[in-house]
Amino acid sequence: MKVTVIGTGYVGLVAGACISDFGFEVTCIDKDENKVEALRSGQVPIYEPGLAEIVNRSQQRETLSFASAYQDAIPNADVVFIAVGTPTKDEDGSADISAVIAAAEELAPLLRGRTVVATKSTVPIGTGMRLEALFRSMVPDAEVTVVSNPEFLREGSAVRDFVEPDRVVIGAEESWAASAMREIYSPIEQRGTPVLVVDRATAEISKYAANSFLATKIAFINEVADLCEQAGGDVQSVADAIGLDARIGSQFLKAGPGFGGSCFPKDTRAFINSSERLGIRQRVVSAAVHANEARKLHLVQRVADACGGDLSDVRVAVLGLAFKAGTDDLRESPSLFVVPELVRLAAEVRAHDPVAMPAARDTFTGLNYGATAEEALDGADVAVILTDWPEYRTLDPEMLTRTMRNNVIVDLRNTLDADRLGDFGVSVIGIGRRETIDTVASHEKPSYSQAAE
C-alpha cells in the first residue's frame, strides 16, 4: 500500500513518519521547496521528541520520501491524508478550511483508480461530505471516498501518541475504505489498541468533542483553584480527591494559566461555531472559553500583586514561553498575553525558554533574553513560571537567593516545592494553594486592572 500525506506540520509529519516506520511506503508533500529539501537532508523543522530519529531512519530504509509537487505522489497513492492547517477565522471563531479545499482541488485531477482521501486536519462537521461532492464533481469517473481520521496527538508526545494511542477513530461510509484504513493501523491494532469504525459525521464530532471536554476540565479546575485560595484549600489535593473517581479521571486537572496551544482554543471555538450553524448552543463549552480568556487578566494581576500592585520599577524574569513543556510552539500560549503586558508595565522583562526562544525573538518586542534560567533571573525582583519545563522544577535555591534581587516567584504551574524554597527565604506564590493569599502582601497601590485603564 502506498500512502501520501499532504502537509508536513505537527500532524502531517508525525503521521507520515510513523506510518512509514510501520513499513508502508509514504510520500509527504509540502509546497515549500526549502522545507522539503531540509527534510530530505534530515533537518526536522519542528521540535518534537523522537521525530527526527524516525524521519532519518525511514528515509534510510527508503519507506519515507518528500516532494513539493502533487503529481510526484498522488497518482499511485492508495490512501491520501490531508493534514494541512485549519486556523480560526477571527470574525466568528469558525475553522478556516480553505487550505483543505485547496489541497482537495489540486489532488483531484491526479486521482487514479480506487483511492481513500482521509482528513487528518481537524475540520468542521460536514467537511467530509463537502469534499466528497467536490471529488464527484471534478473527477466523476474516479472511485474516491472521503474518510474522517481525526488525530488525538499532544505536542511534546505526538510520536508516542501516534504509535501508542488510546484509540483510533475511522469515520467511513464505505467498507472498503474502512478496510484500507485498518490495514494502515494494523500494527497498532495488533497490540490491542481499539480501532473504532464509525460513520463520517461521528468521527468529525468526536475530535471536537474530545478537545472541548478536556479544555472544559482545565477551565473548571482553574476556577476551583481560585476558590481554594479564598477558602484555604489546596487545589492539587482537591484534584487528587476528585481525580481518583473513575468517572472523572485525574488527567487535565492541573491548575495553571489556562489552556493554549494549537488545538484547544481553536477547536473549542470551532465546535461552538459548528454547533451554532446547526442550531445547537454549546453553553458549557462557551463558558469554558470565556473563563479561559478571563484568566489571562488574572495572571498579570497576580504578578502585580506580588510586587505591591505596581510594576513600574520592577525587573521581571519570565521562565517559559512555549504553551507547554516539550514543544517550541507559541500558538495561543499564555505568554502571548502575559509577556507584552509585563513589558508594558514593568521596568524590564527578561525571559528564558529551553527551546522556544528562536520563535520568541520573531514574536515579542521589548523583551530581553537570558541564555540560561540563571541569566534571566539575574537581578530580578520577581520571577514568573509560565511553562513547566523540568529544569525549572529543580531550580537551586542558593542560586535563586544569590541571583535574584527579591526572592519572589509567581509559580503559575505549581511546579516548585514551595516549602523547600521557603526554608531558603524564597517566597513562592502558586495557584490554588492555601499559602498564596497570605504570601501576596496587602497594599493600597492601584491594581493592575486599574492601572491598565
| Integer angstrom CA distances of residue 324 from 10, 243, 304, 376, 430 | 15, 21, 23, 19, 17
How far apart are the C-alpha atoms of 118 and 147, rounded to whole Å? 5
Cβ atoms of residues 351 and 318 within 8 Å: yes
Q: Identify the active-site residue in 18, 228, 263, 307.
A: 263
Contact 106, 79 (CB under 8 A): no
Please give the grid coordinates belonging to residue 365: 518586542
Q: How far is CA 147 from CA 93, 209, 276, in A?
A: 25, 18, 24
- Residues 6 or more apart in contact with residue 34 via CB below 8 angstroms: none
In b/e form, how buried is each residue of 103-142, taking b as 16+ CB within 10 angstroms? bbeebbebbeeebbbbbbbbbbbebbeebbebbeeebeeb
Q: Is 28 a catalytic residue?
A: no
Q: Which of 117, 116, 126 is nearest to 95 (CA)?
A: 126
Q: Are 45 and 30 in contact (CB under 8 A)?
A: no
Q: Where are the alpha helices (DSSP H) in 143-199?
A: 158-163, 175-184, 186-189
Q: Are 443 and 308 in contact (CB under 8 A)?
A: yes
Locus of grid cell 512555549: 322
Q: For residue 342, give the DSSP letter.
A: H
Query: Angle at CA 227, nearest 5°, toward 224 and 232?
Result: 120
| Distance (Å, whole) CA 289 – CA 291 | 5
Q: Which three cell numbers stand for residue 453?
A: 485603564
Helices (H), 43-126: 51-61, 98-107
Residues 6+ positions from 163 with CB-CB distance below 8 Å? 18, 21, 188
Handedness of CA 242, 246, 249, 250 (dihedral sign): positive
Could you list the active site residues? Answer: 263
